[in-house]
Amino acid sequence: MFETLGKWLDYMLGRFHVAFIEADRWKLYLQGLGVTLEMTVIALVFGTILGLAVAVVRTAHDQQRPGRHNIILGFFNKLCNLYTTVIRGTPMMVQLLIWSFVIFSNSRNKIMVGIIGLGINSGAYVAEIIRGGLMSVDVGQSEAGRSLGLNYFDTMRFIVIPQAFKNILPSLGNEFITLFKDTSLVNAIGAAELTYYAQRIGGRTFDYMPPLLGIAFMYLLIVIVFTWLQGKLERRLRESDRR
Amino acid sequence: MIDVKNLSKSFGDHLVLDNISEHIHPGEKVVIIGPSGSGKSTFLRCLNLLETPTEGTITFEGTVITDPKVRIDQIRQQMGMVFQHFNLFPNMTIRRNITLAPVRTKLMGQAEADAEAGRLLERVGLSDKADAYPAQLSGGQKQRVAIVRALAMKPKLMLFDEPTSALDPEMVGEVLDVMKELAREGMTMVVVTHEMGFAREVGSRVLFMADGVIMEQGAPEDVFGRPQSPRLQDFLSKVL
């Protein structure tokens, strides 16, 4: 009984040894992980800025005083509407393929193309999350701000956005986790990130199980760490609710 | 001070204010009473354009504020408003609630605004709450802070939208006391309220609104003592 188990463990350890230790393959995983994290962070920043801009345009457009409709704002609102509709209405994978093989078909830098695809995709979701968050703040809050003579942007900046931020943090965290995991799709357009290396090592050693389980564990670990950080931040932001 | 001409407001097909003309003089304490749904709050909210009138003009100290080109933020800096649900900013301390607007509108520097906040809080007996957050205060304390927050802008006029309606009964008094003191100091006030005792004691003029019009108005003695219209008589019989 124990002998069989011992043999099986030896056999498994051997397979993992081949996938991770032999020929210094662990360096490839680290390299891939680095690229994955780099893509996540840049796409995250890009997507958040884009999403915030779109959310502000759409909210500002919806909150104009009747009879004072701004034509330029109306134009940008239409543009933002089109953007969120198209991005949210098509699969992430199809978008990445279009970025890579249609729009930037001459580019060799597939990581950059991946970042653009991910960032623009994420921006549309972030925009809707932020817009929902801004609308979730009691209208009495902005009325109080405006009644004191604060202008629209100060009211947003000091009163509405900080409160909205607290409300949207859970969904924003979810979106960031989705973005992090979606970096693995960039593998399909040939960017050398974590999943790409795992597949390549699997092909080289004729054994896919150890590298794929290994990277699944790496993704999971990072998501768990991120969720923990998010929980800490949420607790800190709730400080003003204490009684 | 405020001149309202032919003011109408409708939400969709529903006409809430029907051709109201009214004048509010400096130093007056105008109290607006009436059944719910009569348009009292909408009328008050039109005065600082939280609601945009459908028709008519409102003039504040010679400026036609219903003109779309007017810088409404500057007008609102001169009119304080107190809400039924306080609307304190829960993400800021009490001190910052009070100083945010004066500092951002460049009325005062931060140090001056802090000193002013301290002085105002002391007046309403809440000096020890400056560093607390709104969630830590009782309803009455929140409303007193809300009044102080509006006063910190040194407004020429104060609008009160049912300031005691959301309070527990034992906290109504402390808020009304602050408002009475403010009235004694000569502040121009427009107050929508269900507190008939306050209307009688503090009001220099009482407006009775029903069905989107000012049905009857006059000195508190007349409105409460010799009501003319059957609607007002009926209303008073229910609330007094």
pLDDT tens-place string over residues B69-124: 899 999 999 999 999 999 999 999 999 999 999 999 999 999 999 999 999 999 99
Q: Does residue A178 fall inside a structural domain?
A: yes
* Cα B180 from chain centre: 13
User: What is the C-alpha to C-alpha distance for residues B81 and B41, in angstroms, rounded to an integer?
Assistant: 12
E strand or H helix at A114:
helix A110-136
Percent of chain B predicted with pLDDT > 70: 100
Q: Is residue A75 part of a domain?
A: yes
Taking CA atoms, what residue in B is nearest to A155?
B101
Question: How many distinct structural domains can be found in chain A?
Answer: 1
- B154 or A16, greater pLDDT: B154
| φ and ψ of B49, to 5 deg | 60, 30
Q: Where are the alpha helices (DSSP H) in chain B?
A: 40-47, 72-76, 94-104, 110-123, 139-151, 169-184, 196-202, 220-225, 230-239
In the predicted model, is pLDDT for residue B224 greater than 60? Answer: yes
Q: Which residues, at least 6 apart from A162, have a Cβ–Cβ distance to it below 8 Å?
A: B91
Residue B3 has pLDDT above 90, yes or no: yes
| A201 within a domain of the structure (yes/no) | yes
Tell me if B153 sits within 8 A of B80, measured CB to CB. Answer: yes
A171 touches chain B (CB under 8 A): no
Q: Is the CB of A166 inside 8 Å of chain B's CB atoms?
A: yes
What mean pLDDT do residues B10-32 have? 93
Confidence grade of residue A14 (pLDDT, cut at 50, 70, 90):
confident
Within a domain: A16: no
So what's the pLDDT on residue A207?
87
Partner B contacted by A236 (CB < 8 A): no
Mean pLDDT of B12-41: 93
Q: Do B104 and A150 touch (CB under 8 A)?
A: yes
Q: Reduced to 3 states, what is the DSSP secondary structure of residue B199?
A: helix
pLDDT for A46 beyond 60 = yes
Contact flag B105-A149 (C-beta cutoff 8 Å) = yes
The answer, yes or no, to whether residue A192 has pLDDT greater than 80, is yes
**pLDDT tens per residue, range A68-81:** 678 888 899 999 99
pLDDT(B237) > 70: yes
Residue of B nearest to A143 (CA): B50
Question: Residue B47: what pLDDT?
Answer: 95
Chain A nearest C-alpha distance from B136 (Å): 5
Using only C-alpha atoms, what is the Rg of chain A? 23
Q: Specify the pLDDT at position A22.
A: 80
CA A167 to centroid of chain Cα atoms: 18
Express each pLDDT in B39-51 by its tens digit: 999 999 999 999 9
And the tokens for A58? Answer: 């759409």
pTM for this structure? 0.81
Instruction: Quote the pLDDT of residue B83.
Output: 96
Give the model's confidence band at A67: pLDDT under 50 very low, under 70 low, under 90 confident, else very high.
Answer: low
Mean pLDDT, all residues of chain A: 89
pLDDT surpassing 70 at residue A240: no
Measure in Å the smallest separation between the Cα of B107 and chain A Cα atoms: 11
Token look-up 């003191």 returns B181
Q: Which amino acid, one-letter code, is at A204?
A: R
pLDDT at A18 (0 to 100) = 77
Backbone angles phi, psi at A104, to 5 degrees: -110, 45
B6 neighbors B27 (Cβ within 8 angstroms): no
pLDDT (0 to 100) of residue A104: 92
Return the pLDDT at B134.
95
- State the average pLDDT over residues A97-106: 92
Answer yes or no: is A2 within a domain: no
Instruction: Evaluate if residue B130 carries a pLDDT over 80.
Output: yes
Each residue's pLDDT tens digit, B174-202? 999 999 999 999 999 999 999 999 999 99
Q: Which residue of A has its CA nearest to B93?
A: A240
- Helix (H) or strand (E) segment spanning residue A115: helix A110-136
Question: Which residues of chain A are within 8 Å of residue B78 when distances are taken between CB atoms?
Answer: 149
Residue range A89-94: average pLDDT?
Answer: 94
| CATH value at residue A165 | 1.10.3720.10
From A143, A144, A154, residue closest to B104, measured CB to CB: A154
The residue segments making up the domain with residue A166 are 25-242
Do B77 and A148 count as a contact with CB atoms less than 8 A apart? yes
Q: A62: which strand partners?
A: none
Is A3 domain-assigned? no
Residue B106 forms contact with A (CB below 8 Å): no
pLDDT confidence tier of residue A124, bands split at 50, 70 and 90:
very high
- A134 sits in which H/E element: helix A110-136
In a domain, A114, yes or no: yes
Mean local confidence (pLDDT), B154-173: 94
Contact criterion met (CB below 8 Å) for A183 and A118: yes
Q: Is the pLDDT of residue A54 over 80?
A: yes
Enumerate residues 177 to 206 of chain A having a beta carbon within 8 A of any beta carbon in chain B: none
**Residue B240: predicted pLDDT:** 78
Residue A6 lies in a domain: no
- The answer to whether the CB atoms of A158 and B100 lie below 8 A apart is yes
What is the complex's ipTM, to 2 decimals?
0.91
For B90, name the nearest residue in chain A, comparing CA atoms only: A240
The answer to whether B105 contacts chain A (CB < 8 Å) is: yes
Flag whether residue A108 sits within 8 Å of chain B, measured between CB atoms: no
